[in-house]
Structure 1
Amino acid sequence: MDILIWDGDTPPPATDHLIIMWKQFRTSDSTESTISLPEYVEAHASRFHSKFTQFVCDIGESVIDQKTVKEHLKIRENFSYWWLTLFASTRWHPHSRITEAVKLLALEEILSSRNWTSIELRTDSREINQVVSEFCQQEKKMLRCDSQFAIRSNYSRPESKIWNSIFKAHLVIVRQYFQTMKVKPLPTPISVSNIMIFDHLTRLNVNAARGGEFISQYWSLLIPILKDSQKDATWIHRFVAADETPTHQAAQKVLSALSNISNSRHYLFDSRPSIRNLTRTLFNFWNLVLARFRVRKINESFIPRDSKLNLFPLFADEWRESLIGPTAVHHLLALGTMEETLNRQPHCPIGLYLMENQPWEMALIHAWNQSGHGKLIGVIHAPIRFWDLRFFSDPRIISNQSNDYSKFRPSPSIYAVNSPISRRLLEDSGISAQVIVDVEALMYQYLVESAKNPIGQDILILGDYFTELTNRIISLAQPILKQIQPNQTVWFKPHPLNRDSVTSIEKLGIKVTHDMLSSLFDRSSVVIAPSASTGALEAYCANKQVISVLDPSTMNFSPMRHVEGAIFIANTEELLTAIKPVPTSEKSTSAPLLFLDKGLPFWKKLLD
């Protein structure tokens, strides 16, 4: 049997081969001998989910020269830099290549059940070509592909590339110092803080902050509880470039005004690094350079269990970036800043942080416990998505009792979840139910009233964090513009962290808006959203007809993946079929999807 692997956006050519589509769904025109890899992955999601988390753990535990990789990357007595690498963090990012890895595992499984003789590979990805080429060599089968993607005998970069990465890493140190020169570090306070709260400098009303009022979508509802319980809070915000705060200095001015006028404490985490921190960062960086040399044979470990696929070509660039590139310096500076900041603070009984399991959070957990502070609560501010692998680990590295982060993954004392979806997924992954606490969804309490409001008639399209996915949704939705009624409007709300131009969308006759979702839901009856959007779940709770658009280039990241009545579409025809008349009654669900109660009893109990 001959196999055609088709990694294209257009329909595959007519052939008598078995066709495996890399990033397309099957259509009514697909032949019986056509398999969609995205559909196959979704059909066997639990198996591939477990296999990949096991694979990531195996890499960290793999032994090279009588030491595990985690031991080679140990930079503190009880902390391994492994947890700060991009690979170990299983980040949700277009460049993470996790989707390609999972699809390759699915491909191998499909081929193992068939008697195949050759593969014709049509792809523009050099990395996929490398993996499949080596796999065919292992299987002693024929591969036909574009000659420009000839297999390389090894995965090492030329010396010039390595030194280029090291040079760029040193530039980051210089740039970071001058960018944050006027950003004051968190001082040793005169009075003890009852609680420290760490978040991103996003979803903040900047104009209100300049006037001394702290209005945050993350925390505003919590502030009265802190005041009533006389908890003196210190706020530490990680810098995120935005239109109103494009630089560290601009963000510092906003936080300084907020602190001075309101007599509160707001600081930027990304502060001017001390000489000690800079020196230690350089020392740790060159230790990582040496460690990369010691684990130079790690590519041999990137073969999952019971597999012949070597997945290292997919992750080689981010591995190099994590160990000897600018990312290494960013992460080491963050670690050093966390340690210095928290070491000079008096004992703080409670810490809260927005939990997304990013590398800076691993540094925070280590520094917090090393400094002897109290319980640290990871606040999962949005329902967890099944395929967001940042929240999942192999059971071998999960421990809520140990602070030995050279072996176990850093984790908070308590996981605060605002949805039964998150609780179920965490418990299924091996997290003890005893350290999971239900809290009200602070950002979504407006839904208590939105579900009761009259249903509008407009159509709302939500943008994605990634521009490519937004463009796909707009392309699929264009035929709707020909069918809308004269009294209907199609609105588009960009993702708050996507700053790309929307001019092309406006030219289609779609009105772009930055209004709050609560206002837009009042006007709308139908909401079209990326499958990964939390806005889709909000719209569903607000009694809107929600249509989630699947993207075959990735996995189903929807938080509504197992919600009864959720609608997922893959093409324009399915979208036009899915849109129904304005609903007239509220949805009925057997259980709430978010914990909603404006009295916030769960939060009061947690912080008592």
Structure 2
Amino acid sequence: MIKSTIGQSNITGLDQNLPELHVYQNVMSKEHSGTGLLWNQWDCNCASILDLQTRYFEQIREEFLEFICALGKSDIRGKKLKDHFRLKDGFSTWWISSLFERHPSCYGQNLFEIFKLRALEIHLTKNPCAALHLHGNNAPLAEALGQLCLALGIPFHRHAAGPKPSRSFRQRLKKALQSCSPTNTIFYAFKALHWWFATRRRFPAKPSVTPGKGLLLGTWFPNVDKQAAAKGHFRSRYWEAAHDALPKNLPVHWLFVHVDPKEKIQANVQLRDSLMPEHGKGDMTFWEECVTPSVALEAFSQWLSVAARARKLKAEVGKAFMWPNSHLNVYPHLRDAWHDSTQGGFLLDQLLCRKGIQAYCRAIGPQNACITSSELQSWERLLFEEQHRQGCPHVLAVQHSIVRDADFRFFVAPQQWTDSEFTRLMPHTFYANGKAGLMAMRHGGFAADRLDMVEAVRFMYLAEAKPLPEVEPQRLLVATSYFAKETEEMLKLLAEAANSSSAPLLNNIVIKPHPFLPVDHLVEKYFSSKPVIADGPIENHLTPGTVVFAESGTSVALLVLCRQLPLLLYIAADTFDLGIIQADTPVARIRTVQDLISALPPKPLGCTIDDYFCLDTSLPRWHELFNKIFQNGNHQ
């Protein structure tokens, strides 16, 4: 048992009659008196930190954005942190760090743990307790809670319970290699060589580009229209009808980011080479083609320089990781992200990408305009920076998908806009693809004078999906996800609800699994009365009288909005909700068995697809955009 001493606190004079708070990492024990709080799951019989994280999410998101902004400007040894990582051309690699990237996937589980810790701190400040008990075997969590309780003046007790977290041999070996600077350097030297031979050599030795002023379009490959490809024409599924609005008298330079496994590179290069660019003018290039041996060596040389400087800051950098308005120092949770950002693989990958994009932009020359299919990813920021450097008058981004509440790349601390380095990494204008994206970005701190809207060409097929007649609910259609863990948890919850409730819809279940993740074994494992497993396109199963229960991240929800069928969303436990339907949309969110039972029969949807996307098939906004860029054929 570890017990903290009373430290300086903003909670003074604790009432000894206050309840004690027990935090459980696993299933709640009934042996202890006081208030229980589950740490990593939902349960209708016990409060959960996940509920607190949801309640305080927007506040903590704002603090996170403020934290990232302040971290880059933190004073370490008399210099801002970002200034310690400047390259010879003045660019700071802070802007391509996994820390600045801000997407939850860059942090693993650690960022969500921070959000939970901060939610608990807010809760304890508003609702003091006489003591806090942790039941579990997670040493980092115990250390964080112990320090938090010390700062708040709350006695802390740790009770070992449950299995101890463990790392695989491979993880332990990688950690050992990275902890020593010589072996870390050797490790990433081999990683650079591996990238060259396993990835780069599969691309052509040099790009085939035609210099010329025109339009630069950045997107992912190979998601192409197969019917057009069969005729030898290139149409990206991400740009769809926007191809028809492209200027016909100028070259169009396509910059591709390859998203398939490296084993498919050669096949995708052959596919690219078999296609003609729009109107036969322009070219199509993967950025990797522009990385020559000398360019790769220069990128690795930059990595060596940045890594050496990062190691010198090791003893002092931790103090910069204080969370805003909080007692939390989050360096223990972000130590791995810091390493990856300053002396690890993420930094190396970004430096290679930057060199490739720079070489590409030099090869095609200055452009009239640059537009990306945008999720504001690091490759886009590198492209924006280079186009600003070349003086491109129209550096633009068009929303690719949905602005998810927990995709923090779309949200910006207001003070970040005062940094000219940051603005050079942003487009002149970000075009949302509908009202939902536009409102989310305005609310999230993106500069209002840099926002506009165009039609959602990627989702234009939804314009043809009309509402279905409203009839009495007759069956529950379950749409599962691509991810195995979430799918199993969702089906387990569904089975428990079906086994414990007589609700008619739970006796008529049809499961439509993701095409790449069969669920037969899970149905066999959890259901006493087996539901139907459907196949074929999901659209075929969206019929009148159907209630849809979908994993929150699947695109099925968009079709359901179009068809105006009742919708329930499954929210996975212990992770950020990266769902397509935004949090302020009035739709039932299912976290527990009781949530599902209580939500049946569901209420009608409170929104339509027009609340999300601009779906005018004549594309007036796109035509207006290109007319503005290329006024009267004047392309100086």
TM tier, shorter chain? 0.7 to 0.9
Q: Which residue of 1 is the match for residue 4 of structure 2? A: none
For 1:274, the equivalent position in structure 2 comes to 292
- Of 457, 464, 475 in structure 2, the residue corresponding to residue 449 of structure 1 is 464
- Residues of 2 paired with 1:7 and 1:316: CA distance? 22
Question: 1:493-528: per-residue Cα shift (whole Å, max 9, x none)?
Answer: 35xxxx66656357666546573x555546883322
Q: Give 1:198's aligned amino acid.
A: G
Equivalent-residue separation in structure 2 for 1:19 and 1:367 (angstroms) = 53
Paired with 1:384 and 1:260, the residues of 2 have a C-alpha distance of 30
CA contact (8 A) 1:463 1:530 kept: yes
Higher mean C-alpha deviation, range 347-356 or range 475-484: 475-484
1:396 aligns with 2:415: yes
Q: Which amino acid aligns with 1:504?
A: H
SS across alignment from 2:100: coil
> What is the alpha-carbon distance in structure 2 between the residues aligned to residue 518 and residue 233 of structure 1?
35
Q: Please tell me the residue identity of whatever aligns with 1:100.
A: E
Measure the CA separation in 1 of the matches of 2:42 and 2:545. 29
For residues 180 and 520 of structure 1, what CA distance do their matches in structure 2 show?
Answer: 43
**Stretches of structure 1 lacking an aligned partner (at least 5 in a row):** 151-156
Cα deviation, residue 124, structure 1 = 4.9
Seen in structure 2, the aligned counterparts of structure 1 residues 183 and 393 have a Cα distance that, compared at 3 Å, is: same
Q: State yes or no: 1:414 paired with 2:429.
A: yes
Q: Name the structure 1 match of 2:241.
A: 221
Partner letter of residue 216 of structure 1?
A: S
**Is contact 1:70-1:80 (8 Å) kept?**
yes
Deviation at 1:425, TM superposition (A): 2.0
TM-superposition CA deviations, 1:221-266 (whole Å, max 9, x none): 1112226x54532222211125xx8432222122122249995633
Q: Post-superposition shift, 1:469?
A: 2.1
Identity across the alignment (%) = 18
> 1:23 maps to what in 2?
40
- C-alpha offsets along residues 8-42 of structure 1, whole Å, 9 cap, x if unaligned? 2x344342122222233351x33xxxx42222222
Aligned residue for 1:575, secondary structure, equals: helix
Q: Which residue of 1 aligns with 2:59?
A: 47
Aligned to 1:132: 145
Distance 1:230 1:306 in 2: 56
Q: Contact 1:206–1:254 (CA<8 Å) still a contact in 2?
A: no
Cα deviation, residue 346, structure 1: 2.4
SS of 1:398's partner is helix
- In structure 1, C-alpha distance between the alignment counterparts of 2:332 and 2:477, rounded to whole Å: 40
* 1:198 corresponds to 2:218: yes
Greater shift after overlay, 433-442 or 72-81? 72-81
Q: Distance in 2 between matches of 1:476 and 1:208?
A: 43
Question: Given the alignment of the two structures, is residue 473 of structure 1 paired with residue 493 of structure 2, yes or no?
Answer: no
Aligned to 1:104: 117
CA drift at 1:72: 0.9
Check if 1:258 corresponds to 2:275.
yes
* 1:303-348 CA distance string (max 9 Å, x none): 2133222211111112112222222211110011011111221222
Flag the 1:20–1:486 CA change in 2: closer, same or farther, 3 A.
closer
| CA distance 1:386–1:587, change in 2 (3 Å) | closer
Are residues 480 and 86 of structure 1, via their aligned partners in 2, closer, same or farther at CA, if it must alter by over 3 Å?
A: same
Q: Answer yes or no: is the 8 Å Cα contact 1:237–1:268 preserved in 2.
A: yes
Residues 1:313 and 1:413: Cα distance change in structure 2 (over 3 Å): same
CA distance in 1, matches of 2:587, 2:119: 26
Distance verdict in 2 for CA 1:236–1:190, change over 3 Å: closer
Task: Kindly name which structure, 1 or 2, has the bigger radius of gyration based on alpha carbons.
Answer: 2
Q: State the alpha-carbon separation in 2 of the partners of residues 594 and 474 from structure 1.
A: 31
Please give the per-residue CA displacement for 1:54-74, whole angstroms capped at 9, x wherever unaligned. 112221111100011111122
**Which is worse superposed, 440-449 or 185-194?**
185-194
Q: Comparing 92-101 with 188-197, which one deviates more in the overlay?
A: 188-197
1:153 aligns with none
Matches within 5 A, 1:176-195: 176-178=195-197, 179-184=199-204, 187=207, 189-190=209-210, 192=212, 194-195=214-215
1:86 and 2:98 equivalent?
yes
1:6 alignment counterpart:
24
Q: Structure 1 residues 478, 117: closer, same or farther in 2, change over 3 A?
A: closer
Distance change in 2, residues 1:409/1:65 (3 Å): farther
Counterpart in the other structure of 2:568: 547
Distance 1:272 1:356 in 2: 23
Match of 2:444 in 1: 429
How far apart, CA to CA, are the structure 1 residues paired with 2:506 and 2:144?
51
In the alignment, which of 163, 182, 186 is matched to residue 167 of structure 1? 186
Residue-by-residue CA offset, 1:263-290 (whole Å, 9 max, x unaligned) = 5633323336212311211221011112
* 8 Å contact from structure 1 (residues 4, 17) kept in 2: yes
1:504 aligns with 2:521: yes
Conserved? CA contact 1:440–1:600, under 8 Å: yes
Pairing of 1:520-535 with structure 2 (within 5 A): 521=542, 525-535=546-556
Mark the CA change 1:511 to 1:194 in structure 2 (over 3 Å): closer, same or farther.
farther
CA contact (8 A) 1:213 1:262 kept: no
- In the other structure, the counterpart of 1:302 is 321
Alpha carbons of structure 1 residues 145 and 481: separation in structure 2 relative to 1, 3 Å: closer
Q: For residues 542 and 185 of structure 1, what CA distance do their matches in structure 2 show?
A: 49
Query: CA–CA distance in 2 between the matches of 1:16 and 1:315?
Result: 34
- 1:169-226 deviation line (CA, Å, top 9, x unaligned): 2222212222221413774644625222211225435686365243533112111222
Inter-partner Cα distance in structure 2 for 1:491 and 1:342: 45
Task: Give the counterpart letter for 1:561 in structure 2.
Answer: Q
CA distance in 2, matches of 1:469, 1:71: 41
Q: Which amino acid aligns with 1:276?
A: S
For residues 59 and 341 of structure 1, the distance between their equivalents in structure 2, rounded to whole angstroms, comes to 32
Residue number in structure 1 paired with 2:455: 440
The alpha-carbon deviation at position 540 of structure 1 amounts to 1.5
Structure 2 CA distance for aligned equivalents of residues 307 and 377 of structure 1: 37
Residue 248, structure 1, aligned to residue 253, structure 2:
no
The total of aligned residue pairs comes to 582
Relative to 1, partners in 2 of residues 1:593 and 1:120: Cα closer, same or farther, differing over 3 Å?
same
Does 2:362 align with 1:343?
A: yes
CA distance in 2, matches of 1:230, 1:479: 62
Backbone CA RMSD of aligned residues? 3.5
Deviation at 1:429, TM superposition (A): 2.9
Distance 1:506 1:201, change over 3 A: farther
TM-score after normalising by structure 1? 0.85
Residue 380 of structure 1 is aligned with which of 395, 399, 403? 399
Q: Distance in 2 between matches of 1:13 and 1:487?
A: 36
Instruction: State the distance in 2 between where 1:42 and 1:175 align.
Output: 42
Alpha-carbon distance in 2 for matches of 1:581, 1:72: 55
* 1:479 CA displacement: 6.0
